[in-house]
Structure 1
């Protein structure tokens, strides 16, 4: 079973986080995060030449995802947000970390973060997190990622779109939506890892 975490209860969040991340107003009952299905094994060393490393960049995102709230697409022109649902940090950063951990766990690649790639950037995986929320018309969550793989030296660019929909097990509320998004994001991450191979 895929794991889902809502690790920070309201009392802790109110006491320690409201000033740090600017929650403002009423603090949600808990904050949401993403857990990877598979994580790299501790103690497993990997070595790669500079050109063989893979740097996974934080994806860009449209304005509706540049928030810690979860968007609900009501129709083609209207967006609301799930009541009392909030991520611990921006979804693009959570998704980047999830993909990094999944690729590292499921492939033999040496995966670098943005803060490490200046020394040995190798290939770079960039892209756009196009959807990461609820489609109210189908009562599903949608995770859509337009990936762009840039070869070492930038000589070739390959694009591929990944999209997964998951039914919401219950009402459009923080916990069932968070669980469905975790499942969908993990499936996308696994698909990305399979595409990258290695």
Structure 2
């Protein structure tokens, strides 16, 4: 068995502070040292929610599975984008969602459809082999248009029939005035109103 050559003293002296520095960098990356924690986290509240205790039954092909929409890079964060012009984006100060906006929007649409129709609505993690109809799409805008002072939600929906025999598409858009400065609480409220409008229109498009 070969023995490893002894490390020179000067290298041993250098190694310890380097390891400490590396550990400090890793720790700060994990817990966000130096970053400002927002005073509160935002979420979306559905205007319509399913009644507690209501039971529904459907054959496999009659269910509706609502998938988490895809999103562009600017929405793949818990922060709220502000479109300053055609080429520049900033983010609302101290505003942060509790989770990614496309996941919040998917849950909002699911609750709205369940509350307003007789459909059996499934999450993409719930179906097994026969998801029935599937509602997919892209959340194209979910933020602030600084040029108009409005919260904007744009959803490109795609409804795939059971078995994938037909595909229907429709674009939904809603705008709500922020009604003041672009700050976290007002923006969150305006985006909630706009998102509920879109969810209601999507529900009407899907039918009962």
TM-score range, shorter chain: 0.7 to 0.9
Give TM-score, length-normalised by structure 2.
0.84
Matched, 1:64 2:70: no
Matched, 1:195 2:205: yes
Q: CA deviation at 1:22?
A: 6.2
How far apart, CA to CA, are the structure 1 residues paired with 2:32 and 2:60? 40
How far apart, CA to CA, are the structure 2 residues paired with 1:107 and 1:58? 20
Q: Provide the aligned C-alpha RMSD in A.
A: 1.8
Larger CA Rg, structure 1 vs 2:
2
Give TM-score, length-normalised by structure 1.
0.88
Between Structure 1 and Structure 2, how many residues are aligned?
A: 181
Match in the other structure for 2:168: 158
Q: Secondary structure at the match of 1:64?
A: helix
- Find the partner of 2:193 among 149, 159, 183: 183
The runs of 4+ residues in structure 1 deviating greater than 3 Å are 19-24
Residues 2-28 of structure 1 show CA distances to partners (whole Å, capped at 9, x for unaligned) of xxxxxxxxxxxxxxxxx9996971100
Q: Secondary structure at the match of 2:173?
A: strand
- In the alignment, structure 1 segments of 5+ residues that lack a partner are 1-18
More helix by proportion, 1 or 2?
2
- In the alignment, structure 2 segments of 5+ residues that lack a partner are 1-28
Structure 1 residues 112 and 25, CA, compared in 2 at 3 Å: closer, same or farther?
same
Structure 1 residues 42 and 61, CA, compared in 2 at 3 Å: closer, same or farther?
same
Structure 1 residues 34 and 127, CA, compared in 2 at 3 Å: closer, same or farther?
same
Matched, 1:97 2:97: no
Q: Secondary structure at the match of 1:55?
A: strand
Q: CA deviation at 1:119?
A: 3.9
Q: Secondary structure at the match of 2:170?
A: strand
Residues 29-82 of structure 1 show CA distances to partners (whole Å, capped at 9, x for unaligned) of 100000000110011110111110000000000000000000000000000000
